[in-house]
Amino acid sequence: METITEIVRLKKEYGDKLCILAHYYQRDEVYQLADFSGDSYQLALEASRSGAGHIVFCGVTFMAESARILARPEQRVYLPDREAGCPLADMADDRELAPALEEIQRTCLRPIVPVVYINSTASLKAAVAKAGGIVCTSSNAALLVRSLLAEGNAVLFLPDRNLGLSVAGRIPLSKDEIAFFGRETDGPEVTSAARMIIWDGFCNVHVRFTAMDVMKAKNQYPSARVFVHPECREEVTSLADYVGSTSGIIRECEKAAAGEVLFIGTELNLVERLAAARKDAKIFPLRRSGCLNMNKITPEKVLAALRSMNGPSSPYEVFVPEEESALAVRALRGMIERVERAKE
């Protein structure tokens, strides 16, 4: 309680020089402290719009890096626990990209453009930009991949395999147009027919959901609808009633009719918050699956980060080297331009 009071006091003291951002997956005590909350893309945008000199980012490393990249140079971005990483983002390393592209190009006839999901390290985004590729989010991935394929390219999609598969399904691509690649993959070779090559990373929060979970839910409440995130396994997304990004899921829950039963396959903190917001409906987690890394951020650590802001060097401040940052911005801009062009 003292911690919260102190944070509130510091927030008042800093006024609009400080902005606390929290991801939807943050624990409630932290979420409550935020000036703005959203998914990783919205938070990055908010960071770039905010006038605050200090941005305390409650999320995981890659998100704070995106905020850092989009913020102005004089703004400072802090992550209250520097060990809050994202296992999914860490499943593709920038140094793996060039050799992967080289190997794939040996058999693939089309020029390959890497497309990297926003859930990735800044270094990987930079490497992707260097290789002529772009960033995507779960909501615009299909659109971007489609437009790149239409230009005659093949796409290397990384790092999330399930999101990649759901994109491929939406294009749609046939089985032999899809190939896999990555650390754990030594399956069939990339053939000359391949149009989408998918990296084999995964989010362990979302792959925990199984087809059995969906069947049990529907068995218990036959009229129930199941909403899941595209990082869930294919066996789950194929049975779900709605597959969409975190923001998409939130929107669907808001639209649901009173009394409806919903099962949600995404991070637990968010699901519990949704359930609390819609007492008139029945919202359940498809399975209780929380993100260990998101939960590393606590009010105590937020307070430590706030206190660190005046020191000569804060242990929480996030840095992205200039060259890397410039490249990553290029990959992010590439995404925005393509999305805008597609709208025309």
Partner 1 sequence: MTAQVGPRREFDVLVIGSGIAGLAAALAAAGEGRSVAVVSKEGELSECNTNYAQGGIVYRGEGGIELLERDIVSAGCAINFGEAVRVVCEEGPRAIEDILIRKSRVLFDPDGAGGLDLTQEAAHSTRRIIHVKDHTGAAIEKGLLGQAGHVDRIAFFTGHCAVDLITNSHHARLPEERYRPTRVIGAYVFDERREEVSIFFAPRVVLATGGVGNLFLHTSNTPGASGDGIAMANRSGAEIINAEYVQFHPTILYHRDVKRFLISEALRGEGARLMNRRGEYFLEKYNPAMKDLAPRDEVARAIFYEMEATDAGYVFLDARQVSRVDLKTRFPSIARQCREIGIDIAREPIPVVPAAHYFCGGIKVDLSGRTNIPGLYAVGESACTGVHGANRLASVSLLEGLVWGTRAGRDAALSGPAGDDAVRTDIPDWISPRPEEEIDPVLVYQDLHNIRSTMWNYAGIVRNRKRLARALSDFNYLSHRVEKFYRQARLTRTIIELRNAVLTASLIIRAAQANRDSLGCHFVEKG
Contact positions vs partner 1 (CB under 8 A) = 82-83, 95, 123, 126, 300-301, 304-309, 311-317, 319, 321, 323-324
In the complex, least distance from residue 11 CB atom to partner 1, rounded to whole angstroms: 15
Q: Taking phi first (over 0 means left), then psi (-120 to 50 degrees means alpha), and beta for anything else, what does residue 41 get? A: alpha
In the complex, least distance from residue 61 CB atom to ligand SF4, rounded to whole angstroms: 9
Three-class secondary structure of residue 78 per DSSP: strand
Q: Which helix (H) or strand (E) holds 323?
A: helix 322-343
Choices 71-79, 85-93, 247-255, 326-334; region in contact with ligand SF4 by CB under 6 A: 85-93
d(CA 306, CA 5): 13
Q: How many residues would you count in the chain?
A: 344
x/- letters, 45..84, toward ligand SF4 (CB under 6 A) = ---------------x------------------------
In the complex, least distance from residue 130 CB atom to ligand SF4, rounded to whole angstroms: 24
The residues that bridge with 113 in the sheet, in sequence order, are 155
d(CA 10, CA 55): 13
Binding residue (CB under 6 A) for ligand SF4 from 203, 232, 309, 320: 203
In the complex, least distance from residue 315 CB atom to partner 1, rounded to whole angstroms: 3
Binding residue (CB under 6 A) for ligand SF4 from 53, 87, 169, 248: 87
Choose between 92 and 149: whose C-beta lies nearer to ligand SF4: 92
123 belongs to the binding site for ligand SF4 (CB under 6 A): no
| Contacted by 269, from partner 1, ligand SF4, none: CB < 5 to 8 Å by type | none
26 belongs to the binding site for ligand SF4 (CB under 6 A): no
Choose between 75 and 245: whose C-beta lies nearer to ligand SF4: 245
Q: Which residues of 134-160 are buried (b: 16+ CB within 10 A; e: fewer)?
A: bbbbbbbbbbbbeebbeeebbbbbbbb
DSSP 129-174: HHTT-EEE-TTTHHHHHHHHHHTT-EEEEESBHHHHHHHHHHTT--
Q: Integer distance in angstroms from the first to the last C-alpha of the chain? A: 52
- The sheet carrying 261-265 orders its strands as 242-243, 225-228, 261-265, 282-285
Choose between 280 and 323: whose C-beta lies nearer to partner 1: 323
In the complex, least distance from residue 30 CB atom to partner 1, rounded to whole angstroms: 16
| Contacted by 102, from partner 1, ligand SF4, none: CB < 5 to 8 Å by type | none
Choose between 123 and 293: whose C-beta lies nearer to ligand SF4: 293
205 belongs to the binding site for ligand SF4 (CB under 6 A): yes
Choose between 240 and 291: whose C-beta lies nearer to ligand SF4: 291
Nearest one of 205, 40, 215 to 139, comparing CA atoms: 40
Nearest one of 10, 18, 31, 34 to 75, comparing CA atoms: 18
295 belongs to the binding site for ligand SF4 (CB under 6 A): no
Choose between 153 and 293: whose C-beta lies nearer to ligand SF4: 293
Choose between 108 and 309: whose C-beta lies nearer to partner 1: 309
The residue count for binding ligand SF4 (CB under 6 A) is 12
335 belongs to the binding site for ligand SF4 (CB under 6 A): no
**339 burial class (0-12, 13-18, 19+ CB within 10 angstroms)?**
middle
Q: Which amino acid is at 186?
A: D
d(CA 119, CA 89): 6
| Contacted by 86, from ligand SF4, partner 1, none: CB < 5 to 8 Å by type | ligand SF4
Binding site for ligand SF4 (CB under 6 A): 25, 60, 86-88, 119, 203, 205, 267, 291, 293-294
